[in-house]
Amino acid sequence: MTPATRLVASLALALLAGCEALARGGCAAVRGGARQRAAVSMGAAPTPTRRSVLSALLAAPAALALAPPSAVLAESKANVRLASLGFAPLPSVGGYIQLAEFLGRASAANIDGEKTRGFKLSSPLLVAFNYPQTWVTALPTISSNGESGTVSAGNYIKGDSAAFVVFDAPRSAKTAADLPKEVLAQSVVASATSDVYQDVKVRDVAKRAGGAAGDYVTYDYTYTLLTRAGFEVDRKGVGAATLVNGQVGALITATTALRWKSEESKLRELTKSFVVYPVKKSDVVQLGQLDE
């Protein structure tokens, strides 16, 4: 029984006990002591007094207020999705929210006869990671033209972001460790906005350790963003990449160079928790119906 279930059960028992005590009236309360001693000697449950009922009812809201959100609320939607498909849950980390969203629910968006901001996938993907609770999410959208966008989150006003990208992997790559820096740099480019960028540099490529299970590599990178307003902004970030269905699937996190020191730990938690799984279209349909 989960903490939330136990709490609900306790509240229900307290309410039932209260109704029983009130129904018995004052006489039951006066004779409560003698009846309780007799009941205990016979092994029966003692009759609740008004004082015990009131104490239980007053204590219940306090317990509800003190209980952590994970104990009061149902299991996160993200972990329900993961568990329903047999995947490991995302870790619970203070200050972070769990996200698990599908990509590839429809064909890639076709705008003006050209595939734009849509990913060509052989099957849908389930993308999951923890993101800071002060961030907002931006998820794929589906219109008559198809699906566009990606699974992403960010504190966009401050310039902090995380976005999932996917593109064809080189045929020579059998594991994530086989991906050269040039391909990892391509993941950074794929996540960039329509602004102009230059000097993309990837370093510190390593097999991910201490994160979710699977074949993943992490890497740091830097580049210079040339904004439409004519400003140059130095940006830094952390990426995590894997191979999925013969493609590179990567979560690219970024912030400005000025904010790197304060935001680095957040970006590393994002890439540490990141996972992506291929799923069946029937799974997407079934879980979509359950979500409703």
Q: Average of pLDDT values for 253-276? A: 96
Considering the entire predicted model, what is its pTM? 0.72
The pLDDT value given to residue 106: 72
Confidence of residue 93 (pLDDT cuts 50, 70, 90): very high
pLDDT tens-digit readout, 33-73: 444 443 333 344 445 555 554 454 445 444 444 444 543 34
Q: What's the mean pLDDT when you consider all of the chain? A: 77
Looking at residue 261, its pLDDT comes to 96
Q: Helices 32-42 and 3-30 meet at what angle, rounded to 10?
A: 120
Buried b (16+ CB within 10 A) or exposed e, 254-291: bbbeeebeebbebbbbbbbbbbbbbbeeebbeebeeee
Residue 66's contacts (CB-CB under 8 Å, 6 or more residues apart) are none
Query: Using an 8 Å Cβ cutoff, are 175 and 215 in contact?
Result: yes
Q: Which element (helix H / strand E) includes 131?
A: strand 125-132
- Please give the structure tokens belonging to residue 277: 């799984």
| Mean pLDDT in residue range 224-247 | 91
- Residue 158 pLDDT more than 70? yes
- Reported as a single tens digit per residue, the pLDDT across 186-218 is 999 988 766 677 899 999 999 987 666 689 999
Calculate mean pLDDT across residues 138-156.
87
